[in-house]
Amino acid sequence: MIIQPAERTKGVQEYYFSRKQKDLDAVSAERASKGLGPLINLGIGAPDGMPPQAAIDALAKTAALRDSHKYQNYKGLPVLRQAFADWYKRYYGVTLNPNGGIQPLVGSKEGILLISLAFVNPGDKVLVPDPGYPTYSSSAQLAGAEMVKYNLKAENGWFPDFEELENMDLNGVKLMWVNYPNMPTGASATPELYQKLVNFAKKHNILLVNDNPYSFILTEKPISMLAAEGAWDCCLELNSLSKAHNMSGWRLGMVAGDPEMVNEILKVKSQMDSGMFKAMQIAAVEALAQGPEWFEQLNAEYRRRRVAAGRIFEALGVKYNPNSTGLFLWGLTPEDSPTSPTMNRGEVLSEKILHGTGVFITPGFVFGKNGEDYVRISLCAPVPTLEEGLARIKEFLGTC
């Protein structure tokens, strides 16, 4: 390399699932050479269902119009911002300001880095959940911040321990990441938890960011942190059409909050890209207009998949919550599971099953130290695929 990479990249690795794909490709090729069944990937949470037909129709219709292919406003179309506001009012009972309090994003993942760059200075501290989405940590590092892990543990329902938080050195903490329904654990928030988090953030002058893309998946009623008293003083919320509308590849998300804070995010975003393709924005409006029947149908399928994924965990002796929410099933490996000098219980089990059966389940260490004894199954595979995975695992366990 002719020059040295930036210092900010030294603590950041290529995203785990990007690195792991090389191994999965090798296993897939080996199985094909032996005439074995294809790899079954139960790793990443990429919904496999179709988006609402109205969104697809709107995309095609709008894309055929001559004026759809120009640069668009950085703030997004007014009709899209209003659609997000209507969506929040209808399902979360929260009133958003479509004229400055909502910023459309290229998926909510983009928002994680934008928020970090907009609000965090080098040397600031950022509270990151363990276990948690790895992008929270990498975005803090890319912004030059000091990452401070806070514990989520099974004995506390995968909720923060507020007594432990209060006893931490919070000097210099500027931002805190929260994510419920939680990825990877499947724990659901309550209004009481959100209120405690808001009170904590206000007490310590911390910007609290709730990453909320799973709120419609296997939940009785979606909730928003912005409904908590005082949330507008200290909170931002990210959301997305990726999970709830089967539109992960479309990259359609948003951030909502006080217009003054949202404008700081726009300052950064407007330097990095241009407005979103008009046809996609109009399609998003149609998707956001879906009624309760859309989510009822979606969740009926995910409930069937959750049961099928649970049978895989039962075959492996993995303990799990059969009522977990979100797109994943999270389970504790047996206490007598083997480890190795370089791998923890979850990774050993994941590698054993991958190479023995061609079924990939995610090892929990990817999400932090508190996930080392866990494994995760994505529900983004149809029931017959999950059943095929179970059959392979049972056959393998019976011969090894």
- Say which CATH number the domain at 125 has: 3.40.640.10
Are residue 136 and residue 257 in the same domain, yes or no?
yes
Contacts of 356 (CB under 8 A, 6+ apart): 396, 400
Residue that the structure tokens 């399928």 belong to:
301
pTM of the model: 0.95
Are residue 173 and residue 241 in the same domain, yes or no?
yes
Q: Which residues of the chain have pLDDT under 50?
A: none
Where a domain ends, among 289, 311, 333? 289
Are residue 316 and residue 240 in the same domain, yes or no?
no
Where a domain ends, among 289, 315, 338? 289
Q: pLDDT tens, 281-314?
A: 999 999 999 999 999 999 999 999 999 999 999 9
Contacts of 65 (CB under 8 A, 6+ apart): none
The C-alpha atoms of residue 157 and residue 180 are separated, in whole angstroms, by 12
User: Would residue 55 count as lying in a domain?
Assistant: no
pLDDT at position 388, please?
Answer: 98
pLDDT at position 400, please?
Answer: 64
Are residue 193 and residue 312 in the same domain, yes or no?
no
User: Would residue 59 count as lying in a domain?
Assistant: no
Are residue 73 and residue 44 in the same domain, yes or no?
no
Are residue 391 and residue 357 in the same domain, yes or no?
yes
pLDDT at position 397, please?
Answer: 92
In which element (H, E) is residue 257 found? strand 253-257
The C-alpha atoms of residue 159 and residue 173 are separated, in whole angstroms, by 19
User: Would residue 72 count as lying in a domain?
Assistant: yes
Opening angle at CA 250, ends 207 and 107, nearest 5: 10
Are residue 139 and residue 241 in the same domain, yes or no?
yes
Where a domain ends, among 274, 289, 304? 289
Are residue 37 and residue 74 in the same domain, yes or no?
no
Opening angle at CA 209, ends 206 and 213, nearest 5: 170
Reply yes or no: is the peptide bond before residue 334 cis, omega within 30 of 0.
no
User: Would residue 61 count as lying in a domain?
Assistant: no
Are residue 104 and residue 221 in the same domain, yes or no?
yes
User: Would residue 56 count as lying in a domain?
Assistant: no
Domain tally for the chain? 2
User: Would residue 272 count as lying in a domain?
Assistant: yes
Q: Give me the domain span that covers residue 140.
A: 68-289
Are residue 282 and residue 334 in the same domain, yes or no?
no
Judged on CB neighbours under 10 Å (0-12, 13-18, 19+), 347 is: buried
- Say which CATH number the domain at 340 has: 3.90.1150.10
Are residue 274 and residue 129 in the same domain, yes or no?
yes
User: Would residue 322 count as lying in a domain?
Assistant: yes
User: Would residue 301 count as lying in a domain?
Assistant: yes
Are residue 299 and residue 273 in the same domain, yes or no?
no
